[in-house]
Structure 1
């Protein structure tokens, strides 16, 4: 038998962020992951403090960035891998009215640090943007696929990753003690994303799940080193390749890409990209979304050493380290969770 402080189920952004809390505080752990959840792998990985559809501020953007960026920098240093790329992000305007809305938003104290008041003219032949762009400040892109694959390799080297399905029925809970196969953990944190729907301990939490489809295109003539938000995002990822996304489907809960998703992305992309391109990848994943757009963090109502870390939605890169720190302090230091992220807000 092996004793550990924690078992963590899942190995996406939420799990990795919590692992970093455990490593920083010298806690032992074992991670279980069966590679069934794809939302972190297919995500654009953009960290952006502004809701660009409505020109409003992202929930707790400043606090999230202050916690997240040092965490990712430390992982880069420990793993010797580069996955955090600073990226200029431009919002394409479709009218004079949108320009005016942008400048109005930039006057708000919460948005002033993030919205440039200098209008940028379009100088790229392959982009249709007659009304120019607004620049979002303090943005970047996390190569989530590289991060997750590198982190799994890191865990394997330390013999702290089991690439297998966590079998809930084998978890023994007796008088507050836990046992799972040959492991005796003090606590278990379930960070499975949409996979939590199959978890009998937390299937009651109101996680909806939103399917997103994305493309990777090759466009040699486009030649941009900045991201553009219009009807879709287009983000450079190197070697004349670009990420294009994403769709939102609240009904389809499969991980398979669809013809409908492909048509939607191509139709929107062609409204502002005026050069030839080739689709080289088409992928899909289920985002762990919640109706009030806040994470789901907390303790099981009966089993006091079972916890959930979930519901990161479309902004997992920014939110994951923030909520991981909150959960760790809740478990280890008895610091109460903020009501707006605590699963008890849905207790009724």
Structure 2
């Protein structure tokens, strides 16, 4: 929006544990147990490189790193699934004849394959750098957003003493409790990760065997994540720590020390498609949300699409546009199902 000449202000209270801040930042071109291509991946990969490089240039940082995912097969079924998919389409999947290549660093029984190109986004660096830029330009209000102080009018919105044409909610799981958007079919899930210290592993790789090991900083590595559909809070659990510590001890050949355990709630969606666009009744209220585990992949693409929609009235992709939920978004309160 700024690039298009729009004036903006961001309202955000800094919180230590949000889904973005504790995510590993992996952009993986394949997904799920059946190793299918990530939705729209060919289009997204080209776009992602351009957008992240532009952000790097703007902020004077390096936050996008090329990587290869080394996929150690955790079961015979997963090995067969990988080999079958690679035989059908080898665009991103590679098999190896060097089955023993990683024996010095890992224990594994069923071999491995690799996924590339993949990318890693340094989210702590990117988020802190962008936050500093907003602060320097006096475009950041560091406070909790109080929705009861938002007044929606025909010609715009007013929040406290700020008048604006539009407001966009990019607040992750908080939107599931926002009375304008809570009817959207969110499917929140909880993710946990450990931060460990260990001897340096081979650089330029993400290692995966059910759980993933991703370089975090210096001799620290991120290990995760979980997908918990039933949870009562956003706090780390003893069960995840114990299970992950056991799996890691079986797999990793280096001694390691757990130095942190983090958790947060992801704003996933029932149909695994994002929520982008404007409320059908309150057309000054927008949303950019519902990316689930694919925030680094989908976020830049749909942020640009939403900005183009606002500034040039370009159409939003129908699969992402929240207008597809017009019926439930315009349902009167208390009208049931």
- TM-score norm. by structure 1 comes to 0.87
1:125 to 104, 111, 130: 104
Shift of 1:100: 4.1
Contact 2:34 2:82 in 1 (8 A): no
Distance (whole Å) between structure 1 residues aligned to residue 234 and residue 129 of structure 2: 23
The aligned residue for residue 213 of structure 1 is: 192
Matched, 1:284 2:263: yes
Q: Which residue of 2 aligns with 1:144?
A: 123
Aligned-pair CA distance for 1:96 = 5.8
- CA 330–219 in structure 1, closer or farther in 2 if over 3 Å, else same: same
1:166 maps to which residue?
Answer: 145
SS of structure 2 residue aligned to 1:324: helix
> Any conservation in 1 of the 2:96–2:112 contact (CA below 8 Å)?
no
* Superposition map of 1:117-266 within 5 A: 117-123=95-101, 124-220=103-199, 223-225=201-203, 226-252=205-231, 254-266=233-245
Report the Cα distance in structure 2 between the residues aligned to 1:315 and 1:119, rounded to whole angstroms.
31
Q: Secondary structure at the match of 2:181?
A: coil
Deviation at 1:116, TM superposition (A): 1.8
Q: Are 1:312 and 2:291 counterparts?
A: yes
Match status 1:335 vs 2:288: no
Matched positions, count: 324
3-state SS of the aligned residue for 1:236?
A: strand
Q: Deviations over 1:90-145 (max 9, x none)?
A: 1112456544432321243xx43211243442333230123322111111211111
Q: Do 1:86 and 1:139's aligned partners in 2 also have CA atoms closer than 8 Å?
A: yes
Structure 2 CA distance, aligned partners of 1:78 and 1:298? 26
Q: Note if 1:54 corresponds to 2:34.
A: yes
Corresponding residue for residue 11 of structure 2: 32
Residue of structure 2 in register with 1:114 after alignment: 92
Distance change >3 Å, CA 98–CA 167, structure 1 → 2: closer
Aligned to 1:293: 272
- Say yes or no: does 1:64 pair with 2:52: no
2:250 match: secondary structure:
coil
SS at match of 1:68: helix
Contact 2:155 2:165 in 1 (8 A): no
User: Can you list the C-alpha shifts for 1:258-291, whole angstroms capped at 9, x where unaligned?
Assistant: 1122122223323322331100111011111001
TM normalised by structure 2 equals: 0.90
Aligned equivalents of 1:231 and 1:74: distance in 2?
Answer: 34
Question: Residue 231 of structure 1 contacts residue 269 of structure 1 at CA under 8 Å; is this kept in 2?
Answer: no
Report what 1:41 is aligned to.
21
Moved more, 241-250 or 61-70: 61-70
Q: Is the 8 A contact 1:210 1:253 kept in 2?
A: no
Give me the whole-angstrom Cα distance separating, in 2, the residues matched to 1:229 and 1:132. 12
Aligned position for 2:281:
302
**CA RMSD, aligned part only?**
1.9
Partner of 1:13 in structure 2? none
Aligned twin of 2:73: 93
Change (3 A) 1:293 1:52: closer
Deviation of 1:56 after TM superposition, in Å, equals 1.0
Q: Distance in 2 between matches of 1:89 and 1:175?
A: 50
Return 5+ residue gaps in structure 1 as ranges. Answer: 1-21
Compared CA separation, residues 91 and 255, structure 1 to 2 (3 A): same
* CA distance 1:255–1:101, shift in 2 (3 Å): closer
User: Which stretch of structure 1 is more off in the superposition, 40-49 or 115-124?
Assistant: 115-124
